[in-house]
Structure 1
């Protein structure tokens, strides 16, 4: 296999890589546009002259203003934490698709409430609305990676889950630039800051409408006794007939895995909680949480939510200049995300990208911190002109973005979406998403105070955590690229970790050859059942 070739677990018909699976992933990923937009627009909106004037920021002391800004930003993450846990409940009873309906409506309600804020009513509607919007995106952040991974052929699962990350970056790109646009084209009135808040409704509305088209996850349907519907959806998304050997194999894999977990864990809302007593399940929950600790420990959300503060710390002054620099940051992230999505995640692999991103990103953070320590740019740039050292710091900031974006930005979501077994997948993803939002909350809540107290030390802190993440991944996280969802238990049981993927892929290919030699009889009760199912699928 070459670096740019897809590695398949078994021979895969070209029809499997069809537009339906990509379109379904794209529609679900409007949820990521909601999340990405918020993470980008809120920090610069808080710095808009119209917003600071409307809510009288000038009357606050530096520490009180830092606390207010932290509260405005972080209540969103707090809501998202609880939303990601609530998604386990809705997923169990409603399924993946209806859960996305529900959480998109919750977000729309929250975004609408924010628009009621003004200088007379105060900032309370924004805070209340952000709690509700956070609840919506938290639930969606749980559902979308699961939904996409359960639809995806193994060889392109990383790419398809990566569409979720691409949606995040597209939303962020709009969020980073919109305030530059309103600040340069509109007067500093109420409308200037209301427009960025109102734009949140666009991706949420597109997700809500898209849920009328997408299908339910076939694996969820099989797991909940809706076998016929699950088979029809599986054939629809694979663009194959139910008699195709690829479909027969996939259904048998699903059945075998569901049967095994029915015997080992059992079915029911509380059964996955009982599975938490098993060390192998606890271990994957721990790995999922730690991946998001290190993701947030890279410093990304400190930059996303407080980009004007970050750029001011390296000597960039002026509202428009700060917004422009932030906008370029968004462009760099989006372009590199496209490269990661199309060429890296399913070819280079998860582990290797995490190593490269952490090593390169850490070096960049050390340089930026050292520059701030030596030059003190934030206190000496009254003229607004950048020194050569400052220009180098900005370069290393964008270089850090180039290392971080194709590695720690989306890869933890990909790994968490695929490493749990069928009975604990919803609960595992709920735990992973909750961990993401918990660490996100910690960073967003305390970043303003960290910059006030630690200054350049903030960058050294993030650089150190990125070094620790290399050790963590090398010894504990196996490569999940190209492994079928139903074989993840076997992957995580193999040692040594760094060779587990290759050993399992060799085994799977040998097993597939044997399976095909044995002339599979299928999974239909009789010929009449086969013909009837084929007719129903073709009519869809």
Structure 2
């Protein structure tokens, strides 16, 4: 298979893989830019000399300072937890597109309030603003993966949802570097720390403006009886005529799926909650939550939010050196995320990447923890790095290389695609809330963990990554290339490790369905459409 080879569930006209679906995904992913930036900039901003001086951090004891910093970071995750739940309500009544409008507005309001903070007013505006900003990003983190997955052709669904993750990394890259920039170019005045806070308004504003251009999800419109508008938007996104065989089949698949769930679950705001009585639905909600437990249990958000603390534990001293090391961490994550989007997620698959990421990442964490235990770099006052310290830095970046193309974005992809139409919004709300809940736990207690556990923090994260391998092997099926309407069948097939291959065979997939960019140029009229009868058995 080549880089651009795709595994399709059915013959697909080249026109389907057009710029419109990518553009809609990219615009919606401005939400992840603001999430990524907020996650990255706050940890280093708290260590800027101007911020430390403005809010008199030297007067705090170590324990009190750890608590203050943890509160500043974690109120954002607390707001995001509730925002991800609010998104279910807005999604049901307003749709995906209008929900993004609402949450981008809330985020901009929160970001604006933070700018009112000062030494005289105290930290209250920052705390209040981060709660509102958290509500905004929590709701957006629920909506964007759903929105993109409902627009995407199955063969590139992972790649398109991956754009959401890429936006997260681009925002994080800016967030990691901005404090290095202001610390090396600006005097330690109020303006120095205000600039990182003000930059939040850029991705939030771009999302707010972009919402006026993107289209509503056709699947949501079909589910709400707006068939004419849904068909019009679907044809626009696919760049095909309403009479094209591909469009007719896709509408039939959506209708059949909606009819089945109206029969089994029923329509209404509360009906998906009633569906939670079904063990098969409960199981997928559980899987979504546990995936985010293991994602946060890898240690990523401890590093995102408190990178200066993490690098100090390895032995890196000096504000600019710590900021530079953090910035390089952001570069590695962004580059590997691009590789993940272009190739890994839709070719290597979800399960295999989770295995590789957890196994390799765990080994790196064991090494770093062992180095800190043996060398105790906190006692090194010379400021120079030993050979062991350099090796620890190498393993830290190696851990980043394992983690980024695996656990960083893959749980979002799986959660965006594994729920049926009637429970997708509620399921994504649950998954997103789980993400922000575990995110809150990590951000709230990381400073205290480093104070009390020291090297044990790395052993803790390494152990959780090993456990995740066992969990994924036995319980998480491969969702790559499976149509959304066939996900119920995928989760019925045992053993889990063979579910994807078995279902693709049921759908009529054969090795000759692997297409390249050259094959895709064949028109829909030149390709057989006999797969429709095969799909009806699902």
Distance 1:116 1:250, change over 3 A: same
List aligned pairs for 1:320-399, cutoff 5 A.
Answer: 320-380=320-380, 382-399=381-398
Unmatched 5+ residue regions in structure 2?
514-526
The answer on 1:66 being equivalent to 2:66 is yes
More moved, 509-518 vs 78-87: 509-518
List aligned pairs for 1:81-480, cutoff 5 A.
Answer: 81-380=81-380, 382-480=381-479
- Cα distance in 2, alignment partners of residues 48 and 112 from structure 1: 20
- Cα distance in 2, alignment partners of residues 515 and 499 from structure 1: 26
- Cα distance in 2, alignment partners of residues 133 and 519 from structure 1: 48
CA contact (8 A) 1:303 1:310 kept: yes
C-alpha displacement of 1:75: 0.1
Distance 1:510 1:7, change over 3 A: closer
Distance 1:4 1:75, change over 3 A: same
- Cα distance in 1, alignment partners of residues 211 and 257 from structure 2: 28
Unmatched 5+ residue regions in structure 1?
521-540
- Cα distance in 1, alignment partners of residues 207 and 191 from structure 2: 26
- Cα distance in 2, alignment partners of residues 435 and 379 from structure 1: 38
- Cα distance in 1, alignment partners of residues 62 and 501 from structure 2: 55
Q: In the alignment, which residue of structure 2 is the partner of 1:482?
A: 481
More moved, 188-197 vs 3-12: 3-12
- Cα distance in 1, alignment partners of residues 376 and 47 from structure 2: 22
CA contact (8 A) 1:3 1:348 kept: no
CA contact (8 A) 1:4 1:347 kept: no
- Cα distance in 2, alignment partners of residues 70 and 366 from structure 1: 25
Distance 1:456 1:517, change over 3 A: closer
Q: Which runs of 4+ in 1 moved over 6 A?
A: 510-515, 517-520
- Cα distance in 1, alignment partners of residues 23 and 344 from structure 2: 20
**CA distances 1:463-511 after superposition (whole Å, capped 9, x unpaired):** 0000000000000000000000000000000011000001101111269
SS of residue matched to 1:493: coil
C-alpha displacement of 1:379: 2.2
**CA distances 1:393-444 after superposition (whole Å, capped 9, x unpaired):** 0000000000000000000000000000000000000000000000000000
- Cα distance in 1, alignment partners of residues 338 and 508 from structure 2: 30
Query: What TM-score do the two structures reach when normalised by structure 1?
Result: 0.95
Distance 1:224 1:45, change over 3 A: same
Q: In the alignment, which residue of structure 1 is the partner of 2:495?
A: 496
- Cα distance in 1, alignment partners of residues 98 and 3 from structure 2: 39
**What CA RMSD, in Å, does the superposition of the two structures yield over aligned residues?**
1.5
- Cα distance in 2, alignment partners of residues 462 and 404 from structure 1: 12
C-alpha displacement of 1:5: 2.6
SS of residue matched to 1:345: helix
CA contact (8 A) 2:477 2:497 kept: yes
Count how many residue pairs are aligned between Structure 1 and Structure 2.
519
- Cα distance in 2, alignment partners of residues 374 and 140 from structure 1: 44
Query: What TM-score do the two structures reach when normalised by structure 2?
Result: 0.95
- Cα distance in 2, alignment partners of residues 122 and 464 from structure 1: 40
- Cα distance in 2, alignment partners of residues 502 and 519 from structure 1: 19
Q: In the alignment, which residue of structure 2 is the partner of 1:529?
A: none
- Cα distance in 2, alignment partners of residues 377 and 165 from structure 1: 34
Q: In the alignment, which residue of structure 1 is the partner of 2:524?
A: none
C-alpha displacement of 1:516: 2.6
- Cα distance in 1, alignment partners of residues 26 and 416 from structure 2: 16
C-alpha displacement of 1:378: 1.9
